[in-house]
């Protein structure tokens, strides 16, 4: 397809992208830069980020949209807004496991190098590592643990100390989010429609031809020979099922987390960037890090496990995150999502929580308690090799998936950088093969 001028028509495009998180925004930017007429449909709002609890709750805590409660009372959260979960995430960057993808015929190294060259991605300078993260790191080091500062997708020159707002969506522009790529896509002519929920992918003679979506209560269609599903680990399998392109619910991973918390007498804090430092037990599938969250989130954790005695101790409570690589299981259904822990998951938590308790003890914390588990990384629900091929194409010609759902194996890592690499690679592939999609 030769580069073409954006058309004033809103119903016919070269490519339609469903969802504007890291996966969707990256593909949109690549295709728009290559001259394609791109439509991005996002069910969430594009309202400017204010960094308030209320706005964060509307993005990530509305039951059945941003939040799903499982049978075992654990919570799964995701961001429903332009930029997807990147708006509320903790901005920790970890590179994709290249060998895992190589085993599926995918080389992510060139995309990783290119993204490293352009994105903010480095440990925070010491002045932006909060007192709680510093205290926990010192405790871990006293035990001889390889605790180190983690790469953050944060612009340190704009970030400020004593601030917790990245968790609510940074209103200062310090945190990199997928809206940055989306803005670039728009600069290259892409059309982004927020509040537009895609109902199904349209297919004719085994080829994707467009989508049906609802916006402002009106159902409409948009046509394109290329459709990229980037609805995230929950949204994409749901849409495949709603389109009759997948039978039955999908299993998935969610990288569940337990927060282990304890109070110290000589520190007053509670407002800092979470996950500033930590350690990765790669073979065991466990990540530990500091996890200082805003007071309302801490209080929700304490309340859920009945620790009302700790409700007002937020300012002096150190929090260590234990994240595990869970087995693929559970189900994403048409109207529900459910995943409970397997015996191997429980064993990982037992090991990680014991280590977190040691780190807290070495940090002189007392009154230690742990939260119930919760999760924020749904993925692996349309896996490479099963739901899509190594080009991320489904069994339907012209229909691709590009988000955390294509991750092929149990995970246990911050997924954003991997999803960005997949998006960049797919965008380049689609442009290089654009004649195949020309009508
Ligand atoms: C609290 C929290 C902290 C996190 N911390 C980190 C971290 O530190 N580092 C890291 O790497 N990752 C982190 N993550 C995870 C990371 O943000 C996600 O893995 C990543 O955003 C996934 O990108 P995605 O493109 O797969 O999908 P998403 O970001 O989920 O975006 C999908 C988008 O598609 C839209 N959509 C879905 N269905 C439809 C439909 N039918 N029609 C229209 N639009 C639709 C959704 O509204 C959403 O905006 C965190 C997540 C959360 C919630």
What is the DSSP annotation of 56-85? HHHHH-SBTTTEEE-TTS-EEE---BTTGG
Of all protein residues, the one whose alpha carbon is nearest to atom 49 of ligand 1 is 84
d(CA 69, CA 84) in angstroms, rounded, equals: 19
Is 118 a residue whose pLDDT tops 50?
yes
370 assigned to some structural domain: yes
pLDDT at res. 435: 73
Q: Which residue has the CA at smallest separation from atom 2 of ligand 1?
A: 89
Choosing from 62, 82, 87, 89 the residue with most ligand 1 atoms within 8 A of its CB, the one to mutate for a pocket test is 89
| Whether pLDDT at 9 is above 50 | no
The reported pLDDT for the residue numbered 7 is 40
Give the domain CATH number at 196.
Answer: 3.50.50.60
The residue with greater pLDDT, 94 or 6, is 94
Residues 273-287 have a mean pLDDT of: 98
pLDDT tier at 249, thresholds 50, 70, 90: confident
Please say whether the beta carbons of 78 and 378 come within 8 A: yes
State how far the Cα of 405 lies from the Cα of 388, in Å rounded to an integer: 10
Using CA atoms, how far apart are residues 314 and 292, in angstroms rounded to an integer?
A: 9
| Contact residues for 129 (Cβ-Cβ < 8 A; gap 6+) | 137, 149, 272, 273, 276, 277
> Which residues touch 289 (CB under 8 Å, ≥6 apart)?
92, 150, 274, 275, 276, 277, 278, 279, 320, 321, 323
For 109, 283, 390, 402, 408, the CA distances from 102, given in Å and listed in that order, are: 10, 19, 10, 17, 11
The closest residue, in CA terms, to atom 35 on ligand 1 is: 19
The domain in which residue 371 lies consists of 126-167+256-375
pLDDT, tens digit (0-9, with 9 covering 90-100), for 43-83: 999 999 999 999 999 999 888 889 999 999 899 999 999 99
- Tell the residue number behind the tokens 């968790």, with chain if given: 167
| Together in a domain, 418 and 285 | no
Q: Compute the distance between CA of residue 67 and CA of residue 60 in angstroms, rounded to an integer.
A: 6
Average pLDDT in the 313-322 region? Answer: 97
Who contacts 193 (Cβ-Cβ below 8 Å, separation ≥6)? 39, 40, 41, 42, 215
- In this structure, the residue with its CA closest to atom 10 of ligand 1 is 414
Residue 212 domain-assigned (yes or no): yes
Task: Name the residue with the closest Cα to ligand 1, atom 27.
Answer: 232
What is the pLDDT confidence band of residue 422, given thresholds at 50, 70 and 90?
A: very high
CB 318 within 8 A of CB 363: yes
Tell me what the pLDDT averaged over the chain comes to. Answer: 95
The atom number, within ligand 1, closest to the CA of 405 reads: 26
Domain final residue pick, 375, 399, 428: 375
Residues 104 and 134 in one domain: no
Tell me which residue of 395, 398, 405, 382 sits closest to 15, measured CA to CA: 398
Residues 197 and 149 in one domain: no
108 with 203, same domain: the answer is yes
Q: What's the number of domains the chain is made of?
A: 2
For residue 322, being part of any structural domain is answered with yes
Mean pLDDT computed over 168-188: 97
Give CA separation, 335 vs 43, 279, 391, in Å: 16, 37, 29
Asked whether residue 290 falls in the same domain as residue 197, the answer is: no
Confidence bin at 336 (pLDDT 50/70/90): confident
Are 391 and 298 part of one and the same domain?
Answer: no
- Ligand 1 geometric centre to CA of 191 (Å): 20
Is residue 439's pLDDT more than 80?
Answer: no
pLDDT exceeds 70 at position 1: no
The answer to whether residues 429 and 364 belong to one domain is no
CA of 67 to the centre of ligand 1 (A): 12
Residue 240 and residue 365 share a domain: no
Residues forming beta bridges with residue 252, ordered by sequence position = 329
**For residue 377, pLDDT beyond 80:** yes
403: in domain: yes
Q: How far is the CA of 310 from the centre of ligand 1 (A)?
A: 31
Does the pLDDT of residue 438 top 70, yes or no?
A: no
Domain's final residue, options 324, 345, 375? 375
Cα(22) to ligand 1 centroid in Å equals 7
Residue 56 within a domain: no
4 vs 212: which has the higher pLDDT: 212
Q: How much of the chain exceeds pLDDT 70, in percent?
A: 97
pLDDT at 3: 35
pLDDT confidence tier of residue 334, bands split at 50, 70 and 90: confident
Judge whether residue 436 has pLDDT over 90: no
- Ligand 1-lining residues (CB < 6 angstroms): 18-24, 41-44, 60, 77-81, 84-86, 88-92, 197-198, 230-232, 235, 239, 275, 376-377, 403-404, 414-416, 419
Within this chain, do residues 182 and 233 fall inside the same structural domain, yes or no? Answer: yes
Of residues 185 and 434, more confidence is placed in: 185
**76, part of any domain:** no
Q: How many angstroms does the Cα of residue 205 sit away from the middle of ligand 1?
A: 32
Whole-number Å distance between alpha carbons of 210 and 349:
44
Does residue 284 share a domain with residue 220? no
E strand or H helix that includes residue 430:
helix 416-432
pLDDT mean over 369-384: 97
Residue 162, pLDDT > 80, answer: yes
Say if 55 falls within a structural domain.
Answer: no
Q: What is the pLDDT of residue 37?
A: 96
Average pLDDT for 390-403: 98
Residue nearest to atom 41 of ligand 1 (CA): 198
Q: Is the pLDDT score of 330 beyond 90? A: yes
- Tell me which H or E stretch contains 18: strand 15-18
Do 274 and 321 have their domain in common?
yes
Please report whether residue 66 resides in a domain. Answer: no
Let me know whether 291 and 311 are in one domain.
yes
């Amino acid at each position: 397809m030769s580069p073409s001028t954006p058309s004033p028509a809103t119903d016919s495009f070269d490519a339609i992208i469903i969802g504007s998180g890291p996966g969707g925004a990256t593909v949109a930017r690549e295709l728009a830069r290559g001259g394609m007429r791109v439509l991005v449909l996002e069910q969430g709002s594009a309202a400017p980020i204010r960094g308030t609890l209320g706005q964060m709750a509307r993005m990530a805590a509305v039951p059945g949209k941003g939040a799903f409660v499982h049978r075992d009372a654990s919570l799964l959260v995701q961001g429903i807004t332009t930029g997807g979960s990147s708006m509320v995430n903790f901005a920790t960057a970890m590179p994709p496991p290249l060998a895992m993808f190589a085993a599926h015929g995918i080389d992510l190294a060139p995309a990783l190098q290119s993204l490293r060259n352009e994105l903010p991605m480095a440990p925070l300078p010491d002045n932006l590592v909060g007192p709680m993260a510093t205290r926990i790191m010192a405790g871990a080091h006293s035990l001889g643990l390889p605790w180190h500062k983690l790469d953050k997708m944060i612009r340190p020159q704009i970030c400020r100390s004593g601030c917790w707002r990245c968790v609510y969506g940074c209103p200062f522009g310090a945190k990199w989010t997928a809206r940055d790529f989306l803005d670039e896509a728009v600069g290259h002519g892409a059309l982004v429609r927020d509040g537009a929920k895609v109902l199904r992918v349209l297919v004719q003679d085994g080829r994707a031809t467009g989508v049906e979506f609802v916006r402002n209560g009106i159902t409409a269609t948009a046509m394109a020979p290329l459709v990229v599903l980037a609805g995230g680990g929950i949204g994409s399998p749901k849409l495949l099922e709603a389109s009759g392109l997948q039978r039955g619910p999908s299993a998935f991973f969610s990288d569940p987390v337990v927060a282990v918390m304890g109070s110290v007498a000589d520190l007053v804090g509670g407002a800092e960037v979470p996950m500033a430092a930590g350690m990765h037990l790669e073979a065991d599938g466990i990540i530990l890090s500091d996890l200082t969250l805003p007071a309302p989130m801490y209080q929700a954790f304490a309340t859920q496990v009945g620790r009302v005695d700790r409700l007002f101790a937020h300012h002096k409570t150190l929090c260590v995150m234990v994240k595990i690589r869970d087995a693929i299981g559970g189900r994403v259904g048409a109207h529900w999502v459910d995943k409970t822990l397997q015996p191997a998951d429980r064993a990982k938590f037992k090991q990680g929580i014991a280590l977190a308790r040691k780190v807290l003890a070495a940090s002189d914390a007392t009154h230690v308690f742990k939260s119930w588990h919760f999760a924020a990384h749904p993925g692996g629900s349309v896996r490479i090799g099963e739901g899509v091929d190594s080009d991320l194409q489904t069994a339907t010609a012209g229909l691709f998936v590009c988000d955390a759902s294509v991750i092929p194996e149990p995970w246990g890592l911050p997924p954003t950088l991997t999803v960005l690499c997949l998006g960049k690679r797919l965008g380049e592939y689609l442009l290089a093969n654009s004649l195949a999609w020309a009508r």
